[in-house]
């Protein structure tokens, strides 16, 4: 809303219209986890990031596209994977806590996962906005969850033989 209209509506005691979830364009996310953890999440229809923290998951909304990048095969392992290993759509707006072993209670989101083979990242490095021209291309992935451009998401999904997710995938989580 232009500033002068915002100031006028505020002065009159009116509130500017808020963006509704239906009007919001879906966003694109890259989450990071070892391939073993990603496989477990796919089997359960969920995602978790940053060692189970809730805050990063609250940035996502139903309908957002999410892919997982797996730098390694196993947690704390050294065998490289370096591939996008999961492709899905956030199913709803709930962030919830799960009960796991030994008191570990990670926060999760429901995701409608799509079937596709892993996509190795090396052939995409010079084409992704996130990595193009960067010597230390892996650095951004250290944060566990990052927003991607529509260009990058489209490129990753095309390499997986998938198109951009549609609204029919929302609400199909567990």
Q: Which SS3 state, helix, strand or coil, does residue 81 take?
A: strand
Q: What pLDDT does residue 102 have?
A: 80
Q: The tokens 């707006």 sit on which residue? A: 93
- Fold annotation for 28-167: ph1033 like fold (3.10.590)
pLDDT tens for residues 87-113? 999 999 999 999 888 888 999 999 999
Measure the CA–CA gap between 173 and 55, rounded to whole angstroms: 20
Q: What pLDDT does residue 23 have?
A: 58
Whole-Å CA distances, 129 to 29, 97, 108: 13, 33, 28
Taking the whole predicted model, whether its pTM rises above 0.85 is answered as no
Number of other residues whose CB lies within 10 A of the CB of residue 157:
21
Measure the CA–CA gap between 71 and 68, rounded to whole angstroms: 10
pLDDT tens for residues 59-96? 999 999 999 999 999 999 999 999 999 999 999 999 99
């Amino acid at each position: 809303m232009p500033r002068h209209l915002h100031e006028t509506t505020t002065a009159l005691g009116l509130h500017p219209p808020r963006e509704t979830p239906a009007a919001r364009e879906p966003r694109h996310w890259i989450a990071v986890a070892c391939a073993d953890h990603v496989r477990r999440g796919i089997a359960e229809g969920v995602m978790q990031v940053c060692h189970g923290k809730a805050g990063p998951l609250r940035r996502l909304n139903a309908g957002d596209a999410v892919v997982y990048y797996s730098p390694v095969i196993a947690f704390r392992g050294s065998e490289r994977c370096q591939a996008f290993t999961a492709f899905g759509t956030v199913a709803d707006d709930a962030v919830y806590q799960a009960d796991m072993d030994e008191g570990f209670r990670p926060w999760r989101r429901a995701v409608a996962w799509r079937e596709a083979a892993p996509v190795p990242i090396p052939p995409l490095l010079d084409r992704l906005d996130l990595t193009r021209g960067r010597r230390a291309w892996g650095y951004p992935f250290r944060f566990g969850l990052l927003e991607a451009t529509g260009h990058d998401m489209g490129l990753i999904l095309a390499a997986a033989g998938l198109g951009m997710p549609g609204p029919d995938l929302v609400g199909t989580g567990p």
